[in-house]
Structure 1
Amino acid sequence: MENILEVKDLHVTFDTYGGTVQAVRGVNFNLKKGETLAIVGESGSGKSVTTKALMGLIPKPAGKIPKGEILFGGKDLAKLNDKQMQQIRGRDISMIFQDPMTSLNPTMKISKQIMEGLIQHQKLSKKEARTRAIELLRLVGIPEPEERINQYPHQFSGGMRQRVVIAIALACNPQILLADEPTTALDVTIQAQILELMKDIQEKTQTSIVFITHDLGVVANVADRVAVMYAGKIVEIGTVDDIFYNPKHPYTWGLLGSMPTLDNDEDQLVAIPGTPPDLMHPPKGDAFAPRNPNVMKIDLEKEPPMFQVSDTHYAATWLLHENAPKIEPPAAVKRRMQGFASDHGPTEEGEKR
């Protein structure tokens, strides 16, 4: 299946009073039609900045894309100006933000907020846009949409507000949906409902999704492929099965080890020691080296390339070099890998979870 989006060697920087922050440092990935790609990592790893770059939402003049390509529909989005990007935002690429209350205008009825994009991008009349808005509210599972479309955001619960935000994002049938931690502000039960809703909508519309999260538990249920980001770079990328059954990067081991499980009362969470590096002064070599319990001399001297593990699986760690010592994931990580296997089971190639 051909790629709908290709990101090549993307760099994003921010000028600050203290110096230049290299927030994204050479990111590469692609996205296929109908696929969900999850980008995971700690706060500050560059996940959200990457998605904002795709939408042309890097704040200027402090934010810049000094290098790289974002190829979509025969265009390099990194080269487009704000006016050109306005034709793409909402119509071709939409975004669901983390907190629905900051995404919705509290002074405007839901009807107007959904209809805006339909009138601007789809050139629908107000009557047609209203009919379509009601259909969208019904699609995202809001009961009595004919009545609720006339209400304001404060009249909806947190979960229902997020459904409204999803309806707005889907209004113009975008080819790509960017979801920036869309369930973080919601309780666990509502999270599960929203994730199930997104999976259901994707099956119906074949929209491609880039899902940003720090929660690997969420990834297991929604993604086809996973990209693990650290210090502005993708350090491992593969299918969900690759990442959960056969992780190769020590940082991925750390993320898996910090996942809570219910099957073992004695099992303690494994914290990743240390803190992420200062991207105003990126470290030499492997950025994860100071936090890596299996650090080698070369990690401190030379940045690792992306080693190919399989046709779908790549990781940037010197542990994959043929001369490196053979180091197994920690016992806590292995237990979580086994727990994932018992909870989910391996998937067939191309099968949606």
Structure 2
Amino acid sequence: MEKVLEVKDLQIAFDTYAGEVNAVRSVSFDLYKGETLAIVGESGSGKSVTSKSIMKLIPTPPGKYKGGQILFDGKDIVKLNEKQMQQIRGSEISMIFQDPMTSLNPTMKIGNQIMEGIIKHQKISRAAAKERALELLRLVGIPQPEVRLKQYPHQFSGGMRQRVVIAIALACNPKILIADEPTTALDVTIQAQILELMKDLQQKTESSIIFITHDLGVVANMADRVAVMYGGKIVEIGKAEEIFYNPKHPYTWGLLSSMPSLESGDSELYAIPGSPPDLLDPPKGDAFAARNEFAMKIDLEKEPPMFKVSDTHYAATWLLHPDAPKVEPPATVQRMMEKRRLTSSKSAVAVKEGDRNE
């Protein structure tokens, strides 16, 4: 598969009154053409900082790139200046932010906001840009685009505003689309519609998506691969089915256990004990050790490397060391894994039956 982005050993910190916060600590991953990579984790794990660094939207100061590379189209984004980045933002790499109301200018008509980027990056006439804007509104499922083009953001519902934000992000056919919690501010019905829209648009445009979320339920239906972040690091990465069917890191077990399900009934939801580490003074060993019921002495002393589970699956936990005691995932995770296997096998049988009937 063709790589469109390579992030290598990325390190980002912020200077604060209390000291230096190490928000992203040696993060590495690749993004391939046409795939969706989900980055998941609790608030404060470094997901949004990582995604914004790709667009070079980290304010400097107080932020600073301490090391690493972000390779795109043969260029290292970390070394590009603001003028060079302006040629990439919106045209090559676009971003959908969490709250559509703060992403749109309340004083500008929707049509002008969509056309602005098209005229700047594609150097076409205003009439051609207007036609493209109408096409985009149709593409994202907004009815009466000719009327809507002349309206302001406050005249749209939350779900329709997010569709407009997606239209703006897609205006110049970017190679990479970064979606930072794009459905958090929406109710579940609209959320499902927006996610379905993004999947459909990706198939039509062949763009690559980096999807930032804390909701593993969203990930299950959206992602090709999943990177689990904790304490400013990627602690597990693999194909979506590997993360859901064969998770290896105790933090991933905790995230999966805390997912609500219809079968859980009145039982209490699992919550990972404790709180994320203070990145003003990162822990010496495994950042998750203090919250990990399976932690060993070495977890408190030495940071684990990325152990290979398969060619596509890696996890940073000492439990994968050959000398570590054998530990099984919690019962909640095992039940969920078994349920997913049964659902997958039933779906496969249904597909085969459908093929036979045809």
- Is TM-score (shorter-chain normalized) higher than 0.5? yes
Residues 14-35 of structure 1: CA deviation (Å, up to 9, x unaligned): 0011100000000000000000
- How far is the alpha carbon of 1:130 from its aligned partner? 0.4
2:56 is the counterpart of 1:56: yes
1:267–1:332 contact (8 Å) kept in structure 2 = no
**Alignment correspondent of 2:354:** none
Residues 192-223 of structure 1: CA deviation (Å, up to 9, x unaligned): 00000000000001000000000000000000
SS of alignment partner, residue 88 of structure 2 = coil
SS of alignment partner, residue 179 of structure 1 = strand
**Alignment correspondent of 2:151:** 151
**Alignment correspondent of 2:352:** none
Q: What amino acid is aligned across from residue 48 of structure 2 in structure 1?
A: S
**Alignment correspondent of 1:201:** 201
Alpha-carbon separation, structure 2, partners of 1:40 and 1:342: 25
2:233 is the counterpart of 1:248: no
Point out where structure 2 has 5 or more consecutive residues left out of the alignment.
349-358
- How far is the alpha carbon of 1:264 from its aligned partner? 3.4
**Alignment correspondent of 1:188:** 188
- How far is the alpha carbon of 1:129 from its aligned partner? 0.3
Matches within 5 A, 1:122-137: 122-137=122-137
**Alignment correspondent of 2:75:** 75
Q: What amino acid is aligned across from residue 87 of structure 2 in structure 1?
A: Q
Alpha-carbon separation, structure 1, partners of 2:303 and 2:255: 21
**Alignment correspondent of 2:21:** 21
- How far is the alpha carbon of 1:345 from its aligned partner? 5.1
Residues 39-98 of structure 1: CA deviation (Å, up to 9, x unaligned): 000000000000110001001111011100000000000111111100000000000000
SS of alignment partner, residue 5 of structure 1 = strand
Question: CA 1:49/1:267 → structure 2, altered by over 3 Å: closer, same or farther?
Answer: same
Alpha-carbon separation, structure 2, partners of 1:225 and 1:27: 16
Alpha-carbon separation, structure 2, partners of 1:347 and 1:229: 30
- How far is the alpha carbon of 1:335 from its aligned partner? 1.6
**Alignment correspondent of 2:38:** 38
- How far is the alpha carbon of 1:334 from its aligned partner? 1.2
Alpha-carbon separation, structure 1, partners of 2:287 and 2:311: 25
**Alignment correspondent of 1:179:** 179
Q: What amino acid is aligned across from residue 338 of structure 2 in structure 1?
A: Q
- How far is the alpha carbon of 1:344 from its aligned partner? 4.6
1:46–1:231 contact (8 Å) kept in structure 2 = yes
SS of alignment partner, residue 264 of structure 2 = coil
Question: CA 1:274/1:345 → structure 2, altered by over 3 Å: closer, same or farther?
Answer: farther
2:141 is the counterpart of 1:138: no
Identity rate, percent: 74
- How far is the alpha carbon of 1:268 from its aligned partner? 3.3
Alpha-carbon separation, structure 2, partners of 1:314 and 1:94: 28
**Alignment correspondent of 2:353:** none
Matches within 5 A, 1:252-271: 252-271=252-271
Q: What amino acid is aligned across from residue 310 of structure 2 in structure 1?
A: S
Alpha-carbon separation, structure 2, partners of 1:169 and 1:335: 39
Alpha-carbon separation, structure 1, partners of 2:49 and 2:117: 24
Q: What amino acid is aligned across from residue 339 of structure 1 in structure 2?
A: K
Alpha-carbon separation, structure 2, partners of 1:87 and 1:146: 29
Q: What amino acid is aligned across from residue 245 of structure 1 in structure 2?
A: Y
SS of alignment partner, residue 160 of structure 2 = helix
Alpha-carbon separation, structure 2, partners of 1:3 and 1:188: 33
SS of alignment partner, residue 274 of structure 2 = coil
- How far is the alpha carbon of 1:296 from its aligned partner? 0.1
Alpha-carbon separation, structure 2, partners of 1:331 and 1:17: 44
Alpha-carbon separation, structure 1, partners of 2:138 and 2:341: 36
Q: What amino acid is aligned across from residue 165 of structure 2 in structure 1?
A: V
- Higher helix share goes to which structure? 2
SS of alignment partner, residue 58 of structure 2 = coil
**Alignment correspondent of 2:355:** none
- How far is the alpha carbon of 1:178 from its aligned partner? 0.2
**Alignment correspondent of 1:317:** 317
**Alignment correspondent of 1:216:** 216
Deviating more after overlay: 257-266 vs 288-297? 257-266
1:241–1:346 contact (8 Å) kept in structure 2 = no
1:241–1:347 contact (8 Å) kept in structure 2 = no
Count of residues paired in the alignment: 348
Alpha-carbon separation, structure 1, partners of 2:105 and 2:325: 56
Alpha-carbon separation, structure 2, partners of 1:79 and 1:313: 30
SS of alignment partner, residue 52 of structure 1 = helix
Q: What amino acid is aligned across from residue 209 of structure 2 in structure 1?
A: I
Alpha-carbon separation, structure 1, partners of 2:30 and 2:21: 25
Residues 274-302 of structure 1: CA deviation (Å, up to 9, x unaligned): 00000000000000000000110000000
Q: What amino acid is aligned across from residue 94 of structure 1 in structure 2?
A: S
Q: What amino acid is aligned across from residue 132 of structure 1 in structure 2?
A: R
Alpha-carbon separation, structure 1, partners of 2:44 and 2:345: 32
Q: What amino acid is aligned across from residue 285 of structure 1 in structure 2?
A: G
SS of alignment partner, residue 328 of structure 2 = coil
SS of alignment partner, residue 57 of structure 1 = coil
Residues 102-153 of structure 1: CA deviation (Å, up to 9, x unaligned): 0000010000000000000001111000000000000000011111111000
- How far is the alpha carbon of 1:337 from its aligned partner? 1.7
Normalising by structure 2, we get a TM-score of 0.95
SS of alignment partner, residue 287 of structure 2 = coil
2:102 is the counterpart of 1:102: yes
- Kindly report the root-mean-square deviation, in angstroms, between the aligned alpha carbons of the 2 structures: 1.2
